[in-house]
Structure 1
Amino acid sequence: MVSQFRKNYITTLLLFTTLSLYLLLTTNEFVKSITQNHDKIAHVIVFTIEAFLLVKTLRYKYLRIEPTTRIIQQRFLAYNDLELVIKLNKYYVISIICFVVTIFSEFIQDYLTGGKRKFDTKDILANLVGSVIGISLGYFHEN
């Protein structure tokens, strides 16, 4: 079976995610001074890149989820009259992931930095804008 993932993009995505998490959770004054006047632009750029890499990491337009447990295989596939494969559009899945990460990241940064970084609804909006741009760029790059 061919992998649903592109390995070179997985590596890039993991490295960039590590950098993004550092930037999300750092209270370093130097990093703060760089992004202080351009905070929302930084959010848009980071989420654009993350969403684009996520789109490119998934090889096919539809994610195929097949049963892995014997019970499901025996119950539904016993007579080979039913193929139990769930297909999910990757752009919908990525949109949901980005939405959840956008909200979660704002809550978690307040908690993990001990209140040094605060929840900001404008950051959520910037993250969502970046996600939409990244998903759109990935979509148009593939089509």
Structure 2
Amino acid sequence: MVQLRRTITTNKVFQAITSTNDKVAHFVVFMWESWLFVKMFAEDIVTFRKLQANKYVLGVLICSLCASVTSEFAQSVVSRGQRVFDVKDIICNFWGSLLGVGIAFYQDR
């Protein structure tokens, strides 16, 4: 685990890509993640025990709101403070996630 962390954070190519296109990377990753999240449900209505929810609403709540914010906090913990909290990353995460849910909605209709 330690070796993996060192490889990712010290890889010069990885650092070059993410330093110049950081916001684009956040946008694309969250778009893809949200699209996958919504597409994993076969039915439009998701039932868990007695609760029912629309899969698109779940996508917006879980991916766009929860994951986009908590990922910023998590990366500062995982990187042991090497990465800092960035509001612009959250904005890119949020809009990328909304686009991913929107694309999934468009494809299903």
TM-score, normalised relative to structure 1: 0.66
Letter aligned with residue 29 of structure 2: V
Which residue of 12, 24, 28 corresponds with 2:10?
A: 28
- Long gaps (5+) in structure 2: none
What is aligned with 1:142?
108
| Counterpart-to-counterpart distance in 2, 1:108 and 1:65 | 27
Q: 1:53 to 1:92 in 2, by over 3 A?
A: same
Contact kept, 8 Å, 1:27 with 1:116, in 2: the verdict is: no
Deviations 1:2-22 (A, max 9, x none): xxxxxxxxxxxxxxxxxxxx9
Structure 1 runs of 4+ aligned residues shifted over 4 Å read none
Secondary structure, counterpart of 1:36 in structure 2: helix
Per-residue deviation at 1:32?
A: 1.5
Secondary structure, counterpart of 2:9 in structure 1: coil
Counterparts of 1:1-143 in structure 2 under 5 Å? 26-30=8-12, 31-66=14-49, 85-98=50-63, 99-143=65-109
Secondary structure, counterpart of 1:119 in structure 2: coil
- Long gaps (5+) in structure 1: 1-21, 67-84
Letter aligned with residue 61 of structure 1: D
TM-score, normalised relative to structure 2: 0.85
Provide the alpha-carbon RMSD of the alignment: 1.5
| Counterpart-to-counterpart distance in 2, 1:103 and 1:63 | 24
User: Which one has a larger percent helix, Structure 1 or Structure 2?
Assistant: 2
Report which of the two structures shows the higher radius of gyration computed on alpha carbons.
1
Deviations 1:21-43 (A, max 9, x none): x9xxx423421211211110110
